[in-house]
Structure 1
Amino acid sequence: MNWHLLLAALLAALLPLALIATGVELRRVRLRTVEDLRDTVFVQHRDLPQILLALARYDRSRNDRARPSRQDEIKDRTGAFIYGLVCFPGFILLFDPITELIGLSGRHLSVSPAIFWSPDPTLSAAAVAITIKRSVAVAGFAFLGGYIFNLRYLIRQTLNQELSALAFVRAALRLVQGMILSIAVYHTGAVGLGSATDQQLAKDVGFAAALGIAFILGYFPDLGVGRIAQWVRVHVKEVDQTALDEARVIPLEVIDGIDHEVAFRLQESNLYDIQNLAVTNPIELYAETPYTLLQSFDWVLQAQLCLVVGVSSFHQLKRHRIRTIFDLERAVLSDGVPEDYLRALAAVLLFDASACFRKRIGLPEQCDGPNDTATASALVIRHIVAIISDDLHVHRLRILWQAIMQETRGGAADGKPLWLFYTGALPGDPPHPPAG
């Protein structure tokens, strides 16, 4: 067997086997991390939904009905085998022209010219050979682009406990689609390569561009299909660019403690922007990343505040020592908050609200203006913050925070509230019963 055939077989099998083994070990490590957290920090709150959800995510055998059967394992391995079968000829297509160039192998891949379209019959045998070899090289570079994309995709699926037979099959189909598309584009002259004479074939400087385009089409096959649809005037829905401009993505770097490197690490857990971080389970974030539980908690709380008030108000609130959604609750919903402080915070909280809305609730249209006296009532301001805080994700975070505070206090049951403040009756709620 030639060395490139053996290398192709090894590379085709290496990635699926490595990912399956890594996925099993990752699940075991993360399960042990959550169990340790349950037995220490949440020892008196072992049945919290967030704990049980994290355990169910990493322990597939907790529910007998969801326990993976032998058939499920066979499906996963079958998907990996299919991906390896597609990768093997792909690596051969990539390596075979190289073996001919460097002369390390006496035998080379015998590819039927019909696979890559029979060239012009008026060309000489040498020109025909060049056309076929270039077609093989184009297919090989398209495979390389798709393989690199799938490498990132499958690793991310593994890190997020989503590696399955479907993921392998989807990756394999993407490889095939990219190679077919690149060959079609190359032979239809979409990259501007002519083949009228032997001399043009021998001196075609555009072949390097063809390889680059093949790599891009292999990496982004959907992009190539979309372009072809435009060329043949296939009707597709256009994106509303105005709506897209309004729906801007807030980067993770606006959070204190998250820089570019940390954001890159969080992206491995499918956390790409503030919305993803704001709704994640801090326990799962702690189990899947090297960061501490309280650090993960702080990031999620900051993200919640940024998500509901917007970037402008978020930065303004941080200037006034309010960093998280819990800080905002404490600052506005506590009993005995001075009304002047409430109005000042409301002006910051509604920093980018419309001038009409600010005017109707009694806030100046512009801060620091000649007539910036605020007349907004405390009830209106508390109502705004109560709406912001009345969110399922915020309530979930509050329950976790209460459990951590109780464990921090040694599980004291003295009847005192765990929070540092008493909210009283929120707008729309019945009055709280008197203490005692």
Structure 2
Amino acid sequence: MDQSSWPALLYSLVGTPAPILAILGAVNWIALLLAIMTPLLILFARHEVRLRRLRQIQDFYENFEKKGANQKGIATNPSFEFVRSKYTADLRLDEPLKGAKPLDERERLEMLVRAAEQRQVYFGYRLALSTIGFMVLAYFGFHFLGNALACGLQSGTCPLPVGVAPTKADQLPVIAALTFAGTYIASVRTMLSRLAVFDLSSNTFLRLTGESIASVVVTTLLFAALSDPFAVVGGAVTGGGNTNSIPLVWLVLAPLLGLIPQSSTKFLLVKLQEQIRWIKTSDDRFSQLTKITSPEVIDGVDYETRFRLEECGIYDVQNLATYNPILLHIETPYGIYQCIDWIAQAQLCHIVGLERFLLLRELNVRTIFDLERAIDSIHAPREFDDIYASVLMAPTERLRMAADVSKSSFLIVEAGTAKKVPVDEFCKWARERISTSPSLLSTSAEHLMCWITDDLHVRRLRRLWSDIATSLEPGSNYFDDSKRNPQNTPLKGVNQNLANRADSMANTKSGHRPTPRANGSKPVVTGAESDQSSKSS
């Protein structure tokens, strides 16, 4: 043998390579590549997501930092602190030297970014180790799925002897492989959704592995026990008259049961519910009243944006109302002002209900802070309390449906006697109760506004709103020529005197008797008084 050749060199080192080559030949390299690359790509993407969002947090701090002495700034805002800690909790920082100057927020963020770039993570290997179970499951799943596809989805091993039909034992690997295909798609979706909100942990991989195994086992057992569950529907659905082939319904049902987590066990419980009487059932009388409100009712959220928000776990208006606006800005491509506006709208919709929210929006009240300013501001006229209290206490269709479904009635007391009244009469009675005097109406409206805006997520948004508004400087609240600009106060007085003089001259020429202005300046005359004066003369 030519000892200079590479095969000869390998033969001299390891002896006969036949056993090793047999083992390597039995490995399904395509399945192995897919099994290993899936979690590795997810872990690599996790590092990139952290690094990119840490830089976004750094930019956010630079843009909205309050400069000056004795100013807390955005760094002390709880919303900002929660976002920062989410992406830096597991980063390992070098301990500063003793006696060194404490790091400010800017320096700390720079150190965190450097630690992320160098992958300085506490116990990072644990996350990698937790993926081993998923890799093993994925390898065998892809291996059996490839065999099932090669055999025409009728047997787990082929070719079968001529004239021998596949048995149910031969069909079980096919059902298991199809179920794995569904669980794999569901697992990848879950990983990507967790990656979008940076919630990927060891528990994620372990849970996905356990749920996938459970789905495969339970679905396979269901096929073994109920190989033709819909036989009464007809042969066109179940696969025809060939009893040796897998029914068509199972070729669809197996991946579906794997695609929806825990659906196979729930399907089994539904089938056994008639025999198991101790399972607690749900009261679905109010299902029509308890439907979730889609985020699409928010101005600016369309069909595509709704699904983008679902990646962050926002499925309805309540989720959006309680979400951290800085976190939503960091984890989505939407700007901070857009996120704040959406959350402020969602808070108003969540608190007052969809019907009243749409009515208030047509009355130029879009957000929870618009309603607060309309009622609670020191500059708000008292008449606005009457206007918006009427909207907030108006009867809605959902309130009427709740009373009808529950067979309930409201009780009111008149002349010392209690009586049952329908919804519309109760709302009318309640509105009249707080309108006996203007002061009582204002007090009631402000009290209603007080408990509406006292939720923690509303207070958090108000704090962030104030911090950002402060960072934008006072001049952003008005234009240079605005009457609210303090620099225009002298000019405002001159213009007011000129207007009063012009009114006085016009009244003198027309012969009308002037009346005092509302602001106490020179009098003007109204049309009604002019007519009355003419009648008297």
Query: Which TM-score tier does this pair reach, normalised by the shorter chain?
Result: 0.7 to 0.9
Q: CA separation in 1, counterparts of 2:348 and 2:92?
A: 36
Is 1:333 matched up with 2:397? Answer: no
Could you tell me which residue of structure 2 aligns to residue 157 of structure 1? Answer: 194
What is the Cα deviation at residue 291 of structure 1?
Answer: 0.8
Q: Select which of 206, 222, 228 maps to 1:185.
A: 222
Show CA shifts across 1:157-200 (max 9, x none): 11121111111111111111111122111111353499xxxxx9
Q: Select which of 22, 26, 33 maps to 2:49.
A: 26
Q: CA separation in 1, counterparts of 2:300 and 2:332?
A: 14
Show CA shifts across 1:36-95 (max 9, x none): 111121344122222111111112256879x99977322211111111111111111111
* Cα contact 1:145–1:218 (8 A) shared by 2: yes
Could you tell me which residue of structure 2 aligns to residue 321 of structure 1? Answer: 364
Q: Secondary structure at the match of 1:242?
A: coil
Show CA shifts across 1:339-377 (max 9, x none): 33321211112233643553344359xxxxxxx999871
Could you tell me which residue of structure 2 aligns to residue 93 of structure 1? Answer: 144
AA at the equivalent of 2:150: T
Question: What pairs up with 1:142-153 in 2 under 5 angstroms?
Answer: 142-153=179-190
Look at both structures and tell me which one has the larger radius of gyration over its CA atoms: 2
Is 1:47 matched up with 2:76? Answer: yes
Does 23-32 or 318-327 show the bigger shift?
23-32
Q: CA separation in 1, counterparts of 2:57 and 2:256?
A: 41
Q: How high is the TM-score relative to the length of structure 2?
A: 0.65
Q: CA separation in 1, counterparts of 2:245 and 2:164?
A: 18
Question: What pairs up with 1:114-153 in 2 under 5 angstroms?
Answer: 126-127=164-165, 129-153=166-190
Instruction: Tell which has more relative contact order, 1 or 2 (C-alpha 8 A, sep 6+).
Output: 1
Does 392-401 or 264-273 show the bigger shift?
392-401
* Cα contact 1:313–1:350 (8 A) shared by 2: no
Q: Secondary structure at the match of 1:378?
A: helix
* Cα contact 2:92–2:122 (8 A) shared by 1: no
Show CA shifts across 1:119-169 (max 9, x none): xxxxx9823x45344222111111111111111111111112111111111
Q: Select which of 375, 379, 382 maps to 2:446.
A: 382
* Cα contact 2:148–2:157 (8 A) shared by 1: no
Could you tell me which residue of structure 2 aligns to residue 60 of structure 1? Answer: 89
Call closer, same or farther: CA 1:203–1:98 in 2, change over 3 Å. Answer: same
Q: CA separation in 2, counterparts of 1:216 and 1:93?
A: 18
AA at the equivalent of 1:56: S
Q: CA separation in 2, counterparts of 1:214 and 1:294?
A: 46
Q: Secondary structure at the match of 2:291?
A: coil
Does 225-234 or 329-338 show the bigger shift?
225-234
AA at the equivalent of 1:170: R
Q: CA separation in 1, counterparts of 2:164 and 2:263?
A: 34
Question: What pairs up with 1:300-315 in 2 under 5 angstroms?
Answer: 300-315=343-358
Q: Select which of 211, 219, 235 maps to 2:251.
A: 211
Q: CA separation in 1, counterparts of 2:359 and 2:343?
A: 19
Call closer, same or farther: CA 1:90–1:130 in 2, change over 3 Å. Answer: same
C-alpha RMSD of matched pairs (Å): 3.3
Could you tell me which residue of structure 1 aligns to residue 265 of structure 2? Answer: 225
* Cα contact 1:143–1:215 (8 A) shared by 2: yes
Could you tell me which residue of structure 2 aligns to residue 424 of structure 1? Answer: none
Call closer, same or farther: CA 1:285–1:192 in 2, change over 3 Å. Answer: closer
* Cα contact 2:157–2:170 (8 A) shared by 1: no
Could you tell me which residue of structure 2 aligns to residue 83 of structure 1? Answer: 134
Call closer, same or farther: CA 1:310–1:221 in 2, change over 3 Å. Answer: closer
Call closer, same or farther: CA 1:13–1:322 in 2, change over 3 Å. Answer: same
* Cα contact 1:363–1:374 (8 A) shared by 2: no
Does 56-65 or 181-190 show the bigger shift?
56-65
Show CA shifts across 1:289-343 (max 9, x none): 1111101110010011011100000000000000000100110112253333321
AA at the equivalent of 1:355: D
AA at the equivalent of 1:386: C
Call closer, same or farther: CA 1:193–1:302 in 2, change over 3 Å. Answer: closer
* Cα contact 1:192–1:206 (8 A) shared by 2: no
For structure 1, which runs of at least 5 residues remain unmatched after alignment? 103-107, 112-123, 195-199, 365-371, 413-419, 421-436
Question: What pairs up with 1:260-339 in 2 under 5 angstroms?
Answer: 260-339=303-382
Call closer, same or farther: CA 1:211–1:374 in 2, change over 3 Å. Answer: farther
* Cα contact 1:8–1:92 (8 A) shared by 2: yes
AA at the equivalent of 1:362: R
Q: Select which of 395, 410, 427 maps to 1:358.
A: 427
* Cα contact 1:145–1:217 (8 A) shared by 2: yes
AA at the equivalent of 2:164: A
* Cα contact 2:318–2:346 (8 A) shared by 1: yes
Q: CA separation in 2, counterparts of 1:54 and 1:62?
A: 14
Call closer, same or farther: CA 1:307–1:192 in 2, change over 3 Å. Answer: closer
* Cα contact 1:83–1:169 (8 A) shared by 2: yes
For structure 2, which runs of at least 5 residues remain unmatched after alignment? 1-23, 68-72, 96-114, 232-239, 400-422, 477-483, 485-537
Give me the identity figure in percent: 27
AA at the equivalent of 1:79: S
Aligned residues: 384
Does 17-26 or 342-351 show the bigger shift?
342-351
Q: CA separation in 1, counterparts of 2:342 and 2:298?
A: 7
Call closer, same or farther: CA 1:336–1:35 in 2, change over 3 Å. Answer: closer
